[in-house]
C-alpha cells in the first residue's frame, strides 16, 4: 500500500514558483513573436478567485475537497492561490494567479511548450528532493498567467516516488477544468 508524504503545500508552492516562473530564461519582449498560439480569449486574472476556479461538481469529479487560499508575495504584485489535497489518490493540486507573463517561463530548465484547451502553456516538471511535481504556466493575457500544479504525495510500496509521467496528465486535467470555468466567466 502506498504511504502518504506529509509536506506543507504552501512551502512547495513558493519553491516551485521560484524554480520555474522566476527563473525563466526566455522572457519574450515586444520585438519577439509569441511562442504561444493566439489565445481563445484573454483572461483577466485579477478577477479570478483561485478557489472558485473549480466548481463543486468539478471538485467531486476530481476527488478534491474544499481548497485553502493563501496569498503569496511575488514581485511586482501579490499572487493569489488555492490548494487542494487528495490523500485518497495521493495528489495535491494548486491553482495560482501570477502577475507575470507565461513567456517569462519559456526556456527555463526542465520546461517545454504545450497547449491546454487552446491556450499556450509552459510545462515544467521537478523531482529535486521531493515527490514529483508538474506545473503548467498558462498564457492568460499579455502580462499575467495562471499556474496549475499537481504533486504526487505518495510513495509506492518500493519506497520510491511515483513516476513523473503520471503527474502531468493530472495537472492538465485540472488545468482544463480551470480554463473551462474561467473562460465561461470571461
In which band, very low, low, confident or very high, does the pLDDT at 22 lie, cut at 50, 70 and 90?
very low
Q: State residue 169's pLDDT score.
A: 92
| pLDDT of 1 above 70 | no
Q: Which residues have C-beta within 8 Å of that of residue 134, sequence separation ≥ 6?
A: 123, 124, 125, 126, 149, 150, 151, 164, 167, 168, 170, 171
| pLDDT of 74 above 90 | no
Q: Do the beta carbons of residue 180 and residue 38 sit within 8 Å?
A: no
Indicate the average pLDDT of the chain: 79
The CA distance from 171 to 133, in Å, is 9
Question: Which of 43, 172, 28 lies closest to 101 in space, CA to CA?
Answer: 28
Show the domains of the chain with their CATH numbers. 3-26+37-185 (3.40.1000)
In which band, very low, low, confident or very high, does the pLDDT at 126 lie, cut at 50, 70 and 90?
confident
pTM of the model: 0.79
Q: State residue 3's pLDDT score.
A: 42
The CA distance from 39 to 165, in Å, is 27
- Secondary structure tally for the chain: helices H, strands E: 3, 9
Amino acid at each position: 500500500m502506498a504511504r502518504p508524504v506529509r509536506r506543507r503545500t504552501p512551502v512547495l508552492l513558493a519553491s516551485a514558483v521560484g524554480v520555474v516562473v522566476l527563473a525563466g530564461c526566455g522572457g519574450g519582449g515586444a520585438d519577439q513573436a509569441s511562442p504561444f498560439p493566439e489565445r481563445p480569449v484573454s483572461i483577466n486574472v485579477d478577477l479570478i478567485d483561485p478557489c472558485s476556479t473549480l466548481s463543486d461538481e468539478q471538485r467531486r469529479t476530481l476527488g478534491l475537497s474544499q481548497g485553502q487560499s493563501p496569498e503569496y508575495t511575488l514581485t511586482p504584485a501579490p499572487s493569489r492561490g488555492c490548494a487542494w489535497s487528495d490523500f485518497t489518490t495521493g495528489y495535491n493540486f494548486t491553482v495560482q494567479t501570477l502577475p507575470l507573463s507565461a513567456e517569462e517561463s519559456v526556456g527555463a530548465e526542465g520546461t517545454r511548450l504545450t497547449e491546454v484547451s487552446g491556450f499556450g502553456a509552459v510545462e515544467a516538471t521537478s523531482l529535486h528532493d521531493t515527490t514529483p511535481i508538474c506545473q503548467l504556466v498558462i498564457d492568460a493575457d499579455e502580462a499575467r498567467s495562471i499556474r496549475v500544479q499537481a504533486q504526487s504525495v505518495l510513495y509506492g510500496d518500493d519506497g520510491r516516488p511515483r513516476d513523473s509521467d503520471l503527474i502531468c496528465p493530472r495537472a492538465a486535467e485540472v488545468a482544463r477544468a480551470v480554463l473551462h470555468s474561467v473562460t465561461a466567466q470571461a
